[in-house]
Amino acid sequence: MTTGTATAGTAVPAHQTAPPAPGRPRPGLRAGLTGCIGLGALLLPALTDAYTVSLASTALVLAVLAMSTQLLVGVAGLPSFGQAAYLGVGAYTAALLAEAGLTLGPVQLVAAAAAGAVTAAATAPLVLRTRATAFLMTTFAVQSLTATIAARWSTVTGGDEGMHTPPVSVWPGTAPLTGAGYVYWYTLGCFLLLAAAVAVLMRSRLALILRGCADHETRMAALGHHVTAELAAGYTAAGALAGAGGALLVAVNRYVSPADLGFEIAAVALLAAAIGAGTMTGAVVGAIAVVAARDLVGGATGGHAPALLGALFLVVAYGRPLARHLTRLRRTPAEGKPS
């Protein structure tokens, strides 16, 4: 008998015998990979040119909008097409503050998040009367109406000409952020704070309720949950996140127009959330992939960005089911294999 054999009646802890889940990276490897990605993101302005750095800032803004969309689509099971509306509300809030002389970025960020939350809370009773495809179309109507208001209300928003804003500053008395690298670092810092807030939210009771509503809303109501009120809370949180993304949009571009609330922005946010497959990390990766395909690779291929985005959508729509099928085949034991 070898000394490593467990005797009868001796309990062996499961974490000492169970092998790692197939396809899941080891914790050490995952931590190392996360550290390398974080270091690369921090040093990006020193590693590449200003144009790529500005694209990275744009990707971070879209990542915030994608997380807002994912909170509804991937967590609450509500296929929203309207988060660009709350992005625009936040962007115009930040632009109006900047026009009034308040150029502090953190103040603009908080005010834009509050404006997005208030607008989402005001529209929640309307959109939450519907579900599934009807919900998608209702949120699309909210997005279209908001873009139309921004285009027509020229005395406040500048109309189709948009609004140019001065650069933001981080603290009173500090120099405005004008360089692409400084703007990127500011956007990255705000993104990390928002991502941390999302991580806390995803571990909260509200997130569990939203997932329960996505799985079986009728059963959640039968258990005594006020489903509409709880979905409205999730919808308001998503609106606040999108509004904060609007403030970052103004900080990066120093400009906002009705096009920033348009169909394309809503579509790419939904595509990024779809790439994410229900996870916030996936939504961020999806946003980076969309910006890379649309602006970086699309510009290098003679302006074929729409075709690349269409190809990316097809890969997501048909590649994921195929990958699941192949994974099941790999994990299924071969028939007739001797035991």
CA separation, residue 299 to residues 50, 252, 302, 305, 309 (Å): 15, 20, 6, 7, 12
pLDDT for 32 equals 86
Tokens matching residue 177: 């952020």
At residue 329, the pLDDT reads 75
Report in angstroms the alpha-carbon separations of 174 from 18, 98, 104, 105, 251.
55, 16, 10, 11, 15
Predicted confidence at residue 6, as pLDDT, reads 44
Domain boundaries along the sequence of the chain: 48-262
Q: Which amino acid is at 20?
A: P
Residue 108, classed as helix, strand or coil, is: helix
Question: Over its length of 339 residues, how does the chain's per-residue pLDDT go in tens digits?
Answer: 444 444 444 444 444 445 555 555 577 787 888 889 999 999 999 999 999 999 999 999 999 999 999 999 999 999 999 999 999 999 999 999 999 999 999 999 999 999 999 999 999 999 999 999 999 999 999 999 999 999 999 999 999 999 999 999 999 989 999 999 999 999 999 999 999 999 999 999 999 999 999 999 999 999 999 999 999 999 999 999 999 999 999 999 999 999 999 999 999 999 999 888 889 999 999 999 999 988 877 666 666 666 677 777 677 766 666 666 666 777 665 444 554
Contact 243, 97 (CB under 8 A): no
> Where do the H-state alpha helices sit in 43-104?
44-47, 50-70, 83-99
